[in-house]
A and B are shown apart, each in its own frame.
Chain A
Amino acid sequence: MAGRKLFKGNEAVAEAAVRAGCRYFFGYPITPQNEIPEYMSRRLPEVGGAFVQAESEVAAINMVYGAAGTGARVMTSSSSPGISLKQEGISYIAGADLPCLIVNMVRGGPGLGGIAPAQSDYFQATRGGGHGDYHLIVYAPASVQEMVDLTLGAYDVAERYRMPVMILGDGVLGQMMEPVSFPDQMAPDRPAPEWATRGARDGRTPRLINSIYLKPEELYKHNLDMAERFEKASANEVRYEEVLADDAELLLVAYGTTSRVCRAAIEKLRERGIKAGLFRPITVSPFPYDALSKRAKSAKAVLTVEMSMGQLVDDVKIAVAGAAPVHFFGTTGGVIPKASDIAEYAAGIVGEEVR
């Protein structure tokens, strides 16, 4: 690894994608992720790739479909309203079993919402997002370096399971600068996959990239196959982090930027003699249900903290399954929770449940 450099999250995720072999980017401007297309527009030509500013998010994601169908490592990025527009193409990409990388730097919604950081696209990201029976593999990094590390491995994972990978960030992660290091080497060139449509050369049988199965039995079989692959990803790719969780009587659950604030809240709580810990999902799809389920058994109460009116909390309830009471502390609309407010709320729970 080379020395550390100070990088904005948006530029770091773009550079990490390039190091991971991304050569094609199709996007459309939207705050707070504009540094990604801007960076790619100057970076990709340097490495023999191509950048296209599409006429819309809808067009951009369909360009991703076409490029991914040729076996290329391809990426798009946007923020919440733009990701909603991309859902058509994301469903088709998933339906056609194509790997690609999608970055969502989430901002407040619904509608045009605001441009400040939020986590209110959790349901959309973790439940597929578009129409049909599919899932994405969704990473929720909490630092610029982690965003880089997850992006570096994203294409391998997307190609292994033949499904899109999403990096679920937010306005803070996109705009924040932190020191990062990148690998010196670019990902090695790899041969085009055996399903890629690049022309039926040397007499091989023509190939088709497709998501249409008009016979119910065939679509059934296809959806089962997709579900099996997601099952495998659930077995192999789930990631999470625990902080001071071993002896935690109060277990906070949070991801991304909010998990960083929760670390500060936990410090405050520990200073007051309250045994608080953190469970942080790194993959929010597949979700670390088993690990959280185990951890929740040793806690007296669980507190979900997120920048939404309660989305992650549903997965937490699924995992905890009644083993401990699940509380919720949320801020919405682009407001970042304060560590002191979280600690105060948590202390209140402890008063009721832990003591």
Chain B
Amino acid sequence: MVEEIIIAGFGGQGVMIMGQLLSYAGMHEGKNVSWIPSYGPEMRGGTANCSVVISDEQIGSPIVAEPTTAIVMNRPSLDRFEPAVRPGGLLIYNSSLIDRAPERTDIRVIAVPANELALELGSDKVANMVVLGAYLKATGAVSEQAVRDCLSEVLPARRRELIPLNVKALARGAGLVS
């Protein structure tokens, strides 16, 4: 199994944390993982993205050009990464903030109204976790339990009281995927 994922969105949408959670969870499950952020001026306000590779084998290239999955949290990210997804791959998009449907027909597409669902749970800060839950259910790349176990490791101390809410958000996202 090799999962090559690109996660992209606005700075502040928590895309880096999503990638780190996946990486930690993969590592704890004994898999090989790598995480690379986009860095530089994009860190402030613009679009941010990270690449994650989760593999049973030694990871060749940690650089993801043709992702098996693209997770896009905003419109510019959809525009940029939809064409890159490998044929037969997966595209998960945040339909709360993206005003167009993906055009590709050779990939699986999952729409997640992440902000609405997160607000229903109590805070749109966990929109990223709703999307991540959907991803985990759709691919089984790592288990939801492994991600739950990593929350305290990855979330900054000031966010730890939000762990129960994050757990709920993961489950809510997973529930969207059949």
Which residues of A are at the interface with B, using a C-beta cutoff of 8 A?
4, 6, 31-32, 115-116, 171-172, 175-179, 257, 260-261, 263-264, 267, 336, 338-340
Contacts and interface: CB of A to CB of B under 8 A. Distances in A.
B37 interface: yes
A257 B63 contact: yes
B39 A32 contact: yes
Contact of B62 (A6, A32, A171, A172): A172
A30 to B, nearest CB: 12
Contact of B36 (A31, A115, A172, A267): A172
Nearest to B43: A31
Given A6-B23, A179-B33, A260-B60, A338 B65 contact: yes
B24 A6 contact: yes
Contacts of A339: 60-61, 65
B61 A260 contact: yes
Contacts of A175: 36-37, 39
A36 B168 CA distance: 36
Contact of A178 (B40, B61, B62): B62
Nearest to A9: B36
Interface string B57-72: 0011111011000000
19 contacts: A6-B20, A6-B24, A31-B39, A32-B40, A171-B39, A172-B62, A175-B36, A176-B35, A177-B23, A177-B35, A177-B36, A178-B35, A178-B59, A178-B62, A179-B33, A260-B63, A261-B63, A263-B61, A264-B60
Interface in B46-86: 59-63, 65-66
Contacts of A32: 39-40
Interface of B: 20, 23-24, 27, 32-37, 39-40, 59-63, 65-66
A261 B61 contact: yes
Contacts of B63: 172, 257, 260-261, 336
Given A31-B39, A31-B40, A177-B23, A340 B62 contact: no
Contacts of B23: 6, 177
Nearest to A31: B40
A116 B23 CA distance: 23
A6 B32 CA distance: 11
Contacts of A115: 39-40
B39 A178 contact: no
A32 B34 CA distance: 18
A176 B23 CA distance: 11
A338 B61 CA distance: 10
Contacts of B60: 260-261, 263-264, 267, 339
Contact of A179 (B27, B37, B61): B27
A252 to B, nearest CB: 12
Contacts of B65: 338-340
Contact of B66 (A176, A257, A261, A340): A340
A4 B61 CA distance: 20
A176 B36 contact: yes
Contacts of A177: 20, 23, 34-36
A262 to B, nearest CB: 8
Contacts of A340: 65-66
A115 B42 CA distance: 11
List 9 A-B pairs, minimum CB-CB distance, nearest first. A263-B60, A264-B61, A177-B35, A264-B60, A261-B61, A338-B65, A260-B61, A179-B27, A176-B36
Nearest to B58: A263
Contacts of B39: 31-32, 115, 171, 175
Nearest to A174: B39
Contacts of B35: 6, 176-178
Contacts of B37: 175
B62 A176 contact: yes
Contacts of A178: 33-35, 59, 62
Nearest to B37: A175
Nearest to A339: B61
A6 B40 contact: no
B1 to A, nearest CB: 15
B57 to A, nearest CB: 10
Contacts of B34: 176-178
A147 to B, nearest CB: 13
A58 to B, nearest CB: 25
Contacts of A261: 60-61, 63
